Amino acid sequence: MKFTLSLAFLALSTPLCHAWGSEAHTTVGLIAQSFLLPRTQTFILSLLDSRYDGSIGAAAPWADEYRNTAEGRYSGAYHYIDTLDDPPNTCGVDLDRDCPSSHGCIVSAIANYTQRLGDESLGKDEQNKALKFLVHFLGDITQPLHASGHARGGNEVKVTFAGKHRSLHGIWDDDIPQYLLRSKYSDSITFWTQSLVDRIKANTLLTPKEEWTTCVDPDQAVRCATEWATDSNKYDCSYVYSALNDTSTDLSGEYFRNSVDIVELQVAKGGLRLAAWLNSVVTGEHGLSEDHGDRFVLQHPEL
Ligand SMILES: *[C@@H]1O[C@H](CO)[C@@H](O)[C@H](O)[C@H]1NC(C)=O
Ligand SMILES: *[C@@H]1O[C@H](CO)[C@@H](O)[C@H](O)[C@H]1NC(C)=O
């Protein structure tokens, strides 16, 4: 019954196509919700637009709507870092080379909005915006093609997925998560979230969770975000580009199946890191709550 309520709630969000799609972003936010400390949750409730009812899962896709408004256009470059590397042969992030100070990148944006989230002198509106940006960018930074400048982050790589002409970037943002949701989770973001939260707790994803949160010090935001981007960027060489043999292959077959472990790992990482990050910004202490696995469900209001 809990599931039914939150499904109805989630059905209100519409898919977007410019970053990890809204499915992955929402899932990152909902996973994080399960690991927030009570003080962090209270802080979020006091800040977030009332339409989100305290749910950072519901607020997670906001930055994609915002970048498409005249007011928010400046934030477009904050969603990625254009690494000037050469996948699948060489991968790597070099902040001086890849993050132009003229318009910034996802690393500088995470540092900026982390600082702004904790700065009460800016006022609640600006802190609220900083929170929504962070919830989104800690998701995007785990998408391998948001840490790739090659062919504009794969936007210029034409592929076929389930019979449709798409870009490589587009299938990693949208088609792969959506196909996965449909084929394994009855098209339910709630089921996907629950499954990932369970596997985070059991530590049974592709890499151990201890490795995902080695850098969660908001005072070291540039260093941490650079580490996260470097971690995502590695998958561009190990799988995302290397597995592309030719354009005649429909990538909804073997390529999709081999991508699932990476996608689920990256979404889980984004969620756990986001919780650790927000807990640390709000409470000044490192910590994760493990006791509230169903908070993402309880958090949604009665409709
Ligand atoms: C930090 O964020 C503010 C508010 O969005 C923006 O005006 C400013 O340009 C940003 N600074 C950097 C260095 O990104
Ligand atoms: C590409 O070729 C390799 C080696 O033959 C194979 O293992 C892989 O599955 C292929 N990838 C795709 C997307 O067809």
Domains of the chain: 3-149+158-290 (1.10.575.10)
Q: Which of 254, 257, 259 to mutate to test the pocket of ligand 2 (most atoms within 8 A of CB)?
A: 254
Q: Beta strand pairing status for 158-161 and 164-167? A: antiparallel
Active site residue 25: yes
Between 299 and 24, whose confidence is greater?
24
* DSSP class per residue in 48-109: S-GGGTT-HHHHTTHHHHHHTSTTTGGGGGGG------BTTTB----HHHHS-TTT--HHHH
In this prediction, residue 47 carries a pLDDT of 97
In this prediction, residue 19 carries a pLDDT of 61
Between 242 and 71, whose confidence is greater?
71
> pLDDT-based confidence at 266, cuts 50/70/90?
very high
In this prediction, residue 1 carries a pLDDT of 33
Query: If you take atom 8 of ligand 1, which residue's CA is the nearest one?
Result: 112
Q: What's the pLDDT tens digit per position in 133-144? A: 999 999 999 999
Give the pLDDT mean for 223-234.
Answer: 98
Query: If you take atom 11 of ligand 1, which residue's CA is the nearest one?
Result: 112
Query: If you take atom 3 of ligand 1, which residue's CA is the nearest one?
Result: 112
In this prediction, residue 12 carries a pLDDT of 39
Q: Ligand 1 centre and the CA of 155: distance in Å?
A: 26
Query: If you take atom 5 of ligand 2, which residue's CA is the nearest one?
Result: 245
> pLDDT-based confidence at 209, cuts 50/70/90?
very high
* Residue in the structure block whose two tokens are 């409470």: 283
Q: Which residues line ligand 1 (CB under 6 A)?
A: 104, 108-109, 112
Residue among 18, 62, 67, 295 flagged as catalytic: 67
Residue among 64, 175, 231, 236 flagged as catalytic: 64
Atom of ligand 1 minimally distant from the CA of 112: 1
Q: Ligand 2 centre and the CA of 151: distance in Å?
A: 21
In this prediction, residue 240 carries a pLDDT of 97
Q: Which of 238, 245, 262 to mutate to test the pocket of ligand 2 (most atoms within 8 A of CB)?
A: 245
Q: Ligand 1 centre and the CA of 112: distance in Å?
A: 6
Compute the distance between CA of residue 80 and CA of residue 231 in angstroms, rounded to an integer: 14
* Residue in the structure block whose two tokens are 């982050």: 153
In this prediction, residue 287 carries a pLDDT of 76
Q: What's the pLDDT tens digit per position in 75-131? A: 999 999 999 999 999 999 999 999 999 999 999 999 999 999 999 999 999 999 999
Q: What's the pLDDT tens digit per position in 15-44? A: 333 467 899 999 999 999 999 999 999 999
* Mean pLDDT estimate for the chain: 90
pLDDT at position 9 over 50: no
Residue of 53, 34, 33 whose CA lies nearest to 45? 53
In this prediction, residue 299 carries a pLDDT of 40
Atom of ligand 1 minimally distant from the CA of 133: 5
